[in-house]
Amino acid sequence: MDTQKTEQITFRVRRYDPEKGSNPHFQEFTVPSSRGLTVLDGLIYIKENLDSTIAFRTSCRMAICGSCGMLINNYPHLACHTQIEEFHSNRLTIKPLPNFPIIKDLVVDLIPFFEIHKSVKPYMLRNDSNEMENPTAEFGQSHQTLESFLQFTYCIKCGICVSACPTSASDKLFHGPQALAQCYRYCADNRDAGELERFPVVGTDHGVWHCHLAGACSESCPKGVDPALAIQLLKRRVMSRTLGLGKKEPPASTVRPSAQAKPKLPFPEFTVKQG
Amino acid sequence: MRRYTYLWLMQLVTGVLIAVLLGIHMVMQHLEDILRFFGVNLNDPASWNSMIERSRQVIWAGIYIALLAVVLYHALNGLRNVILELTPSARTERVVTWAILAFGIIIFVWASYVPIALLSR
Amino acid sequence: MRQIRPRPNYLGAGGWVWAGNYKLERYLYILHRVTGLGILLFLLVHLIVTTFFRIQGQAVWETAMRFLSNPLFKTGEYLVAVAFSFHALNGLRLILQELGFLMAKPIPPIYPYSDSLRKKRSWTMAIIGIIIVLCLMFFYDFIVGGW
């Protein structure tokens, strides 16, 4: 596809309007597209020029807010992050994310998703509330410890992993890869002391033990967060706490800043090699 | 939480035990030609005489009953997980768990009767 | 504001089998389930044969063995042997990976992203290779042992 040449792409969008009471059906639109245009650009073109009743979520258009997750040619993508050219076809089928209830057209209901995320307590839990409310110094954390959970902090809560998970497809009470990965992110953070509060929530049948390592969540994650790895490490952690194995480290304590002004350090070298 | 963790841990442990015990059983029953190639002659384990000889030895009865116990636990716990993924209501879960537990105990008692009875014949 | 009831959109058990163009491990998971349930069904029949028929004496046993040496049943037995070797070896891989031993280390994501299952895919392929070797060994024995 040349930058100058435009091709006519057929967008086959699944429409559903609860106020009209109709069943979901497909509607086709023809969108002129050239190199560099994303699926989101195509949908905005449809909304501005062809049919203004089409409903979809969008915000940042740069793959950082997590609003525009949808099923494009039967695979979940972020619409702003997906070029039309990468499908090498002039026919795209766009459906809302599965495993979430549909509100209208491509907009799905994410409130149950966020409720489950809240139930794993995704915030620092510590015993010293004085330090938390009136902080006097930084908490000490080496960059090895940071690296052991940094990858899982990049989650943008888009819900694509939950729609890829086969267990989420059938088990309505399953927490989903996103909540379990975030639970691990907080348990692995050495500043946090709330493991014992989170484990009874996730260490249940419909929690971490219904994950059977299908790996579709990590494969489809648009930010490379790898929730499957987080869940398996969480299983290892729950198992060793239940059996009483492994050393239990106390949460990080405060580190007084040194008296002389420290020079600004460059970003540290990663201890795990890339590639 | 502890209960569910132990259930999963037992699934792993019984899985490894089955890989060993059932491996022996499969190799004995189905790979005898290849074993003969290596010089181990088993004399047709499915024939009546060889079976009667085995059923008189306590060690074989013990192995078969152990195999039955671990296979029943692993298979029925797996079945319970599959069913629980499809039916999320709490009441159905309890019914399914007790039904599978009862089924497992009945089958274990029934099927371990025969090796023990044949020990003395 | 009028309340709208969102329409349920779960894939259900069909979502186990197919939900999009995913890669290998998602299908190994459903195959693990199918072989497990298949072996359970075989087990129930096998228990009936080795208890009822064995305790009734030699004549009943040998009649049953002759009935079961039909090629159809032999093929079924071979499929059970294949299912067992797949389930056992894939299960060993799952034990190692679910406890975090055969998985990659967490690494800050730099594009193009590669998840830890993809990095360890060579181990998965090696285990599938061992499964195929076992299936061939069982096949040889079924052929030589006679239908």
Mean pLDDT of A245-258: 77
What pLDDT, in 10s, does the model give residues C23-39?
888 999 999 999 999 99
Number of domains in chain B: 1
Q: Kindly tell me if the per-residue pLDDT of A220 is higher than 80.
A: yes
CA A76 to chain centroid = 12
Q: Do C92 and B19 touch (CB under 8 A)?
A: yes
Mean pLDDT of A229-258: 85
What pLDDT, in 10s, does the model give residues B54-85?
778 888 888 989 999 999 999 999 999 999 99
Look at residue C145 in the predicted model and tell me its pLDDT.
65
Interface of A with C in 97-126 (CB under 8 A): 98-104, 108-109
CATH number at residue B104: 1.20.1300
Q: Do A151 and C108 touch (CB under 8 A)?
A: yes
What is the reported pTM? 0.90
Look at residue A163 in the predicted model and tell me its pLDDT.
93
Nearest-neighbour CA in chain A from C125: distance (Å)? 15
- Domains of chain A, earliest start first: 8-108 (3.10.20.30), 111-250 (1.10.1060.10)
Mean pLDDT of A120-137: 85
Interface of A with C in 27-56 (CB under 8 A): none
Q: Which residue from B6, B84, B86 is facing A205, i.e. has the nearest CB?
A: B84
> CA nearest A203 in B: which residue?
B1
Look at residue A264 in the predicted model and tell me its pLDDT.
63
Q: Which residue from A151, A235, A272 is facing C98, i.e. has the nearest CB?
A: A235
SS (H, E, C) chain A: CCCCCCEEEEEEEEECCCCCCCCCEEEEEEEEECCCCEHHHHHHHHHHHHCCCCCCCCCCCCCCCCCCEEEECCEEEEHHHCEHHHHCCCEEEEECCCCCCEEECCEECCHHHHHHHHHCCCCCCCCCHHHHHCCCCEECCCHHHHHHHHHHHHCCCCCHHHHHCHHHHHCCCCCHHHHHHHHHHHHHCCCCCCHHHHHHHHCCCCCHHHCCCCCHHHHHCCCCCCHHHHHHHHHHHHHHHHHCCCCCCCCCCEECCCCCCCCCCCCCCCCCCCC
Q: Kindly tell me if the per-residue pLDDT of C147 is higher than 50.
A: no
Look at residue C89 in the predicted model and tell me its pLDDT.
95
Best to test chain B binding among A173, A175, A197 (most B CBs inside 10 Å): A173
pLDDT grade for A237, boundaries at 50, 70 and 90: very high
Q: Do A152 and C106 touch (CB under 8 A)?
A: yes
Q: Which residue from B32, B34, B114 is facing C54, i.e. has the nearest CB?
A: B114
Task: Look at A63-67, B31-35, B97-101, C80-84 and tell me which has the smallest mean pLDDT.
Answer: B31-35
pLDDT grade for A178, boundaries at 50, 70 and 90: very high
Structure tokens at C48: 């009936």
User: ipTM of the assembly?
Assistant: 0.89
Q: What value does the mean pLDDT of chain A take?
A: 89
Neighbour count for residue A264 (Cβ, 10 Å)? 5
Task: Look at A57-61, A112-116, A250-254 and tell me which has the smallest mean pLDDT.
Answer: A250-254
> CA nearest B8 in C: which residue?
C95
Interface of B with C in 89-118 (CB under 8 A): 107, 110-111, 113-114, 117-118
Q: What 3-state DSSP class applies to C7? A: strand
Structure tokens at A235: 């299983």
Domain span including residue B40: 2-119
Q: Kindly tell me if the per-residue pLDDT of C132 is higher than 90.
A: yes
Angle in degrees, 0-180, between the axes of helices A111-119 and A176-188, rounded to the nearest 10? 30
Q: Do B4 and A205 touch (CB under 8 A)?
A: yes
Judging contacts by C-beta atoms under 8 Å, the chain B residues touching residue A240 are none
Q: What value does the mean pLDDT of chain B take?
A: 86
Residues A228, A209: Cα–Cα separation, whole Å:
13
Q: Kindly tell me if the per-residue pLDDT of A275 is higher than 90.
A: no
Q: What value does the mean pLDDT of chain C take?
A: 87
Q: Kindly tell me if the per-residue pLDDT of A83 is higher than 90.
A: yes
> CA nearest C30 in B: which residue?
B82
